[in-house]
Every structure is written in C-alpha cells, then in structure tokens.
Amino acid sequence: MRAWRLHDYGQPLRLEECALAQPGPGEARVRVAAASVNPIDWKLSAGLLRGVFEPQLPRVLGRDCAGTVDAVGPGVTEFAPGDEIAGVADMARDGTHAECCVLPAAQAARRPANVPPDAAAALGVAGVSAYIALVEVAKITSGVHLLVHAGAGGVGSLALQIGRQLGAEVSTTCSAANADYCRSLGAHHVIDYTAEDFATLRGFDAVLDTVGGAVHERSAAVLKPGGTLVWLAAAPFDAMPGRNDVRVVRADVRCTADRLATLLEWAARGTLRVPVETRIPFADAPRGYALSRTGHARGKIVILT
C-alpha cells in the first residue's frame, strides 16, 4: 500500500510503498476512502511539536479517516471486514494519510450510509474537538451567549452548528470574506476580526478559542462572572490576570466511539452539516498541508484516497 511518510522535520513528505500493518488487539485495519487534514499534521511535519510529541520517523501522518474494514485484531467484536467505519488513529502508530491504516476500535464508529466518507472522515478530530469543548466542557444550554473564535475554520465551522443546535445565541469571529459563510452555518452575529475588536464585547457565558495567543489572553474580558473559556490551540495561559471569576479550561481532546457515533448520527439526521470545502486527490496530499498551514482554510480539507 502507498502512504505519505515524513522522514525529516521540515522536509517534503514522500509518497512510498509501505508494508501493510497488521491490526493488534483491539484494532481494525481500514482501506482508507477519505482522511482529513488537521493543523496538527503540518505542525508535526514542520517540527513545531518537537519536545512535546516527537514520533519516531519515518511516520505516516494524518489523524482521522473513513473507510472499509479489511481485517480486525484479537478482541474486536464491534466491527468485521466489510464494515464502513470512521475513526481516529492512535498517535503512537502510523496515521491515516495512506491507502490503509490501523485504528483502535475504541476510537471508531460505524459510518451511516447517508454520510459520505469525506464528511465522516472530517468529524474525527475537528468534530470531536468541538463536541468536547461545547457539550462536555462549556456545557452549552439553551439561551446562553457563546462566542466561537475562527468560525470559518475546521473546528469553528462545526462548533457554530453545535452551539446553535444546543440553543445558544452564537457569535463568531472571522474575516469579512467568511462572514456570510459563518452566517450560513448558524452564527447569529459575525465579528470581522480585521475591523472590529471582539474584546470590547461583554456578556458571554462561554468562549471557544481555537486561535490562541493574544486572542486567548483577551477573551476572558468578554465573559460574564462564572463564564467558561475553553481553548484548543496551544497557549501559555491557563489563568487570566484580573479574572479569577471565570473558568479557563483546555479541552482534552480524545476521540471515543460514543462521541464520534453521536456526531455521525447528527450528520445522518441532517442537523450537522460537515463543511468539507476542499477535496484533494491522494496523489496531491501535500497541497492539503500547505493550505492548512496558511491558517485561512475554510471548513475542512479532505484527502480522497
């Protein structure tokens, strides 16, 4: 099988013929139909996560995918060869930017027939991140005021819809070019971050920050006392100067079968639209990394295998 492998940080990925991995206990091997690109892929390939997470090289990158099970390891009762599933690879093993990959069954779920592989693949990291942040950490309920930063991004475009579905009044930051796009996904209010300062706003119950840095630091100001700032992108702050009356929580993102199954069910019912905006043939996969690296990709990028 062919896979895109990283041999050296900062060097181009190489498309290579690789041995087919055998699924171990609790694992399923999948013929990949689609795999999404997440910022962690280009950050890893550029060596930006060295010291935090340094996989042994060469390594196949890519975290999530959808495809057909072709073998299962000992103890797997959830799936059998021929099943259509989506899931997230184990960080300790080769990833999903390949024709075949191995997934822990505990991080995978059946793909409903009316959710296409590209949409299912895109939910594994971005969808589960938005779900954990809004449903489990911020515990969004009807009527709360929610600010989602970067509503046009992979996580944000799903978070806008999840927040809206949970009954929140949803505001989001994006550039002017993405304002209508964010509204189409359910944002009630759009803040063009190139022209307006979101930090002058007040009265939010929760903020989802996927941008980090100064955006993270300045987000606490908009929260009501007792509000929650939940964040994903690496940032050095976990308490806010002058705001000991708000919660600042890093979402601990772990894909589980239950979380992914819920998202897939929402997609199947049509209450969650998976915004796959860029589809890239397998042979051009590095183009997906380059687009993600711009920091301005809209929605999700998916590699079609």
Ligand X SMILES: NC(=O)c1ccc[n+]([C@@H]2O[C@H](COP(=O)([O-])OP(=O)(O)OC[C@H]3O[C@@H](n4cnc5c(N)ncnc54)[C@H](OP(=O)(O)O)[C@@H]3O)[C@@H](O)[C@H]2O)c1
Q: Which residues bind ligand X (CB under 6 A)?
A: 38-40, 125-126, 129, 149-150, 152-156, 173-175, 178, 193, 210-211, 215, 232-233, 253, 292, 295-298
When the beta carbons of 20 and 290 are compared against ligand X, the nearer one is: 290
Shortest Å distance, C-beta 97 to ligand X? 16
Give me the helices (H) in the chain, please.
39-45, 117-122, 128-131, 154-165, 179-184, 213-219, 257-269, 285-293
Shortest Å distance, C-beta 252 to ligand X? 8
Closest to 64 measured CA to CA, from 30, 112, 115, 113: 30
When the beta carbons of 181 and 266 are compared against ligand X, the nearer one is: 181
Shortest Å distance, C-beta 288 to ligand X? 11
Shortest Å distance, C-beta 180 to ligand X? 11
Distances in Å between the alpha carbon of 107 and those of 31, 196, 275?
A: 16, 40, 22
When the beta carbons of 29 and 300 are compared against ligand X, the nearer one is: 300
Give the strand pairing for 247-250 and 2-6: unpaired
- Is residue 235 a contact partner of residue 220, using CB atoms and an 8 Å limit? no
When the beta carbons of 76 and 132 are compared against ligand X, the nearer one is: 132
Shortest Å distance, C-beta 183 to ligand X? 13
When the beta carbons of 144 and 251 are compared against ligand X, the nearer one is: 251
Please state, in angstroms and rounded to a whole number, the distance separating the CA atoms of residues 105 and 82: 14
Helix, strand or coil, per DSSP, at residue 149 = coil
Helix, strand or coil, per DSSP, at residue 262 = helix
